Structure 1
Amino acid sequence: MRRRLPRPHELAPLIRFKQPVLRSRDRTLADSLTIEDLARAAKRRTPRMPFEYADGGADDEISLLRARLAFRDVVFHPSVLRDVSKLSTVRNVLGSPAALPFGIAPIGFTRLLHTAGELAGVSVAAEAGIPFALSTMGTASVEDVARTAQQTAPGARTWFQLYIWKDRDRSAEVIRRAAAAGMEALIVTVDVPVGGRRLRDVRNGMTVPPTLTPRAVLETIPHPAWWFDFLTTEPLAFAALDRSSGSIRELFESMFDASVTIDDLGWIRQQWSGPVVVKGIQSVEDALRVAATGVDAIVLSNHGGRQLDRAPTPLDLLPDVAEALRARQSTTEVWLDSGIRSGSDIVAALAMGARFTLIGRAYLYGLMAGGRLGAARSIEILRTEIERTMQLLGVADLDELEPKHASRLADRRPDSS
């Protein structure tokens, strides 16, 4: 074998040197290829107390684990020799198109996780052409969120999430504010008669107001950038409070009403003329009962594993709920959240019967990792994963997805009895 030294002009087409990225945050986001990458970056950049508020679940966090395992058990069944050179990821939801089949779920205390908060989230959602839902416990006002959305992209879709409070007058007032701001839909969360017990939060001092234990203070020292941003920006303001309507403690004390029943959905209809979505459905029976009231959509959700531990896993419920509503010829849309960490998770949910999905932690990890740019990165990661999964499945349009495209490992095992 004859050997010689390579010539530079021969190497040039074969090797490309990576351009250096000087700023640490930008380098982290560029190197993050998955939502799990963003989660690891978020954990490094965020103090323990706020990070675990976003990352944790209720009690032993069994619901949290099961939601992830359910998606990992999905088996895809691709069709080959299909033209997937042109894709459509558009999904009509509540009568209007969304550019991608997911929206940003309502999340409380967002500015505690990163000071960019909801205004960053709604602006990147508007740019991506997807809906953004503001939580009652969101840390930006209804008016500011709606205004930011329209300034970013006229016609951007914003939704408002509501807990039906003990004080119905306060509920009615915040509903009126959401309507006046031009928010499109009302998401009524129904799985919180009382607050769940989140042990990580209790141990970390994540209470109302926060309890700064010595350990919590020590754990924030390695995060001076987070402290600087938190202390030098506007104090937290809450979506459900105007400037003079009371304290956050008072809000919590009046928030959850254990006496709420399905009859209260009729009261909601009297207050709100737009689409109504009911979030927190955890059984086929409740799905049918709530759909029969005429709501526009239901969300199969166990609150991201943050309320009742050992609650049903939404993905497990999805096929039965979708089939039951089809049998009743119901026009109520079926959405899903809890456990989504990738674009392939979203595609699996759509194939198994969901009309739409909501993401929570997947977006928060990006926000904590890099503020507005990180939130945008999380959406971009999910978009590219959705597109790639569709192409590998042989599906060019989301409406082509069917149950034949995805099953669960448990569905394919022989009966052990």
Structure 2
Amino acid sequence: MTPLPVMLPVALPDYAAAAAERLDAQARAYFDGGAADELTLAANLQAWRQIGLQSRVLRPMAGAHTRVELLGRTLAHPVLLAPVAYQRLAHPDGEIATAQAAAALQAGMVLSTQSSVPVETVAHIVRRDPESGPLWFQVYIQPDRDFTLALVRRAEAAGCEALVLTVDAPVSGARDRERRAGFRLPPGVRAVHLEGLRLPPAPALRPGQSALFDGLLADMPTWDDVAWLVGQTRLPVLLKGITHPDDAGLARQVGAAGLIVSNHGGRTLDTLPATAELLPRIVAAADGLPVLVDGGIRRGTDVLKALGLGARAVLVGRPQVHALAVAGAQGVAHMLRLLRDELEIAMALTGCRCLAEAASALSPRR
């Protein structure tokens, strides 16, 4: 087990700074980079800072708690671990350590399709603790639909409680930082769930044709494929990557159980608005579907703001791999504890006894 550093981080940015010294250049580029000029990456962070809170004093706080209801479960707090691929780039234990931390801190965890540890192993760790949060499995609809369905069946058999279908990345963004670093997976790190996946052969292109428009996009999923997936599983399916109100409405029509407002951490289309900016419009369009949000969550105050804007819960991505790189399972657990402690402080100082009252903590916008 990796020990915590001598100078214990006191906030999530401390873990980011410490991880920058431990990760090699390629891993840093993969985990920390965004698309193109990384404007959306920066906007995600800045947007939460621009939302103010207002203090309330002398409020009765007996019985205060951070519990939330989500997909039929009562969660101890509203912070989940987002799906992050190839976590063994950050630490030899990878997703094993992340799962141990999530279970210890009663945090929900979304395991990536591109995990470096099998879902069965992660599920075994989570299930050992009856107080642990839920384990969800992230999936992409692959060109080989049978392969996609086989992954779904593995997640079901392992005991996952929901599927998170990522819909905003039919192709990778223009990740300049990764390309400048010459990113390649090192030996021993691989996407274990994608072994055996056969991609369709690349078409022969004439000069002037596009590999994207004349090739790859022909097999990209559509709303019909989402409806197919929803109909193939007993698990609730949440759609991750919703940034437009019209797509929230379409998600309802095809039977989605929830939405995750996400711009993929600024890794796909640069200049997309920050998720904090998008959240209220998606909540309104969701018409009662549970809405979660990720992107730039670094403080407990950010969590309170997100719930005040209508989110049911939040997910954190980069902070988990920063903490993982610094101190393994202990680091991720400590990172989650820091967020929850900050959330409780923010609730106490704004007079919120429960997160259903979070909207009252928001400062009126000018």
Q: TM-score, normalised by structure 1?
A: 0.80
1:79-107 deviations in Å (ceiling 9; x for gaps): 22112254211111111011110110011
In structure 2, relative to structure 1, the CA distance for the partners of 1:76 and 1:256 (3 Å cut) is: farther
| One of 95, 110, 122 as aligned partner of 1:145 | 122
**Aligned pair 1:388/2:345, yes or no?**
yes
Does the 8 Å CA contact 1:150/1:156 hold for their aligned counterparts? Answer: no
1:40 and 1:50 map into 2 onto residues whose CA distance is: 14
Specify the alignment match of 1:275 in structure 2: 236
**Aligned pair 1:370/2:327, yes or no?**
yes
Specify the alignment match of 2:134 in structure 1: 157
1:255 and 1:165 map into 2 onto residues whose CA distance is: 12
Does the 8 Å CA contact 2:258/2:291 hold for their aligned counterparts? Answer: yes
Specify the alignment match of 1:3 in structure 2: none
The amino acid across from 2:318 in the alignment is R
1:47 and 1:153 map into 2 onto residues whose CA distance is: 37
Specify the alignment match of 1:15 in structure 2: none
Deviation at 1:237, TM superposition (A): 4.6
Decide which moves more: 289-298 or 301-310.
289-298
1:232-286 deviations in Å (ceiling 9; x for gaps): xxx33534235xx2699x9xxx998753111111111222111110000011111
In structure 2, relative to structure 1, the CA distance for the partners of 1:26 and 1:257 (3 Å cut) is: farther
User: 1:142-291, aligned counterparts within 5 Å?
Assistant: 142-153=119-130, 156-207=133-184, 209=185, 235-241=188-194, 245=196, 259-291=220-252
1:132-167 deviations in Å (ceiling 9; x for gaps): 111111111111111111124476521100111111
In structure 2, relative to structure 1, the CA distance for the partners of 1:25 and 1:257 (3 Å cut) is: farther
2:363 and 2:291 map into 1 onto residues whose CA distance is: 18
User: 1:2-401, aligned counterparts within 5 Å?
Assistant: 25-28=3-6, 31-153=8-130, 156-207=133-184, 209=185, 235-241=188-194, 245=196, 259-325=220-286, 330-401=287-358
The amino acid across from 2:351 in the alignment is G
The amino acid across from 1:57 in the alignment is G
In structure 2, relative to structure 1, the CA distance for the partners of 1:399 and 1:83 (3 Å cut) is: same
In structure 2, relative to structure 1, the CA distance for the partners of 1:274 and 1:246 (3 Å cut) is: closer
Q: Secondary structure at the match of 1:106?
A: coil
Q: Secondary structure at the match of 1:339?
A: coil
Q: What is the root-mean-square deviation of aligned Cα atoms in Å?
A: 2.5
| One of 380, 388, 405 as aligned partner of 2:361 | 405
In structure 2, relative to structure 1, the CA distance for the partners of 1:370 and 1:205 (3 Å cut) is: same
2:310 and 2:231 map into 1 onto residues whose CA distance is: 30
Q: Secondary structure at the match of 2:52?
A: strand
Deviation at 1:27, TM superposition (A): 3.7
1:302-348 deviations in Å (ceiling 9; x for gaps): 000000001122111112222333xxxx3311110111111111110
The amino acid across from 2:235 in the alignment is G
The amino acid across from 1:405 in the alignment is A
2:192 and 2:348 map into 1 onto residues whose CA distance is: 40
Structure of larger gyration radius: 1
1:239 and 1:42 map into 2 onto residues whose CA distance is: 25
1:119 and 1:46 map into 2 onto residues whose CA distance is: 18
2:121 and 2:179 map into 1 onto residues whose CA distance is: 31
The amino acid across from 1:150 in the alignment is R
Does the 8 Å CA contact 1:282/1:301 hold for their aligned counterparts? Answer: yes
Deviation at 1:363, TM superposition (A): 1.4
2:363 and 2:281 map into 1 onto residues whose CA distance is: 13
Deviation at 1:174, TM superposition (A): 0.6
Identity %: 36
In structure 2, relative to structure 1, the CA distance for the partners of 1:39 and 1:260 (3 Å cut) is: same
The amino acid across from 1:321 in the alignment is I
Q: Secondary structure at the match of 2:193?
A: coil
1:247 and 1:291 map into 2 onto residues whose CA distance is: 31
In structure 2, relative to structure 1, the CA distance for the partners of 1:239 and 1:406 (3 Å cut) is: farther
Question: Where in structure 2 are there 5+ consecutive unaligned residues?
Answer: 202-214
2:96 and 2:217 map into 1 onto residues whose CA distance is: 26
Q: Secondary structure at the match of 1:299?
A: strand
1:39 and 1:155 map into 2 onto residues whose CA distance is: 26
2:189 and 2:67 map into 1 onto residues whose CA distance is: 35
Does the 8 Å CA contact 2:280/2:310 hold for their aligned counterparts? Answer: yes
2:173 and 2:116 map into 1 onto residues whose CA distance is: 20
1:370 and 1:391 map into 2 onto residues whose CA distance is: 30
Does the 8 Å CA contact 1:132/1:159 hold for their aligned counterparts? Answer: yes
Deviation at 1:32, TM superposition (A): 0.7
In structure 2, relative to structure 1, the CA distance for the partners of 1:247 and 1:112 (3 Å cut) is: farther
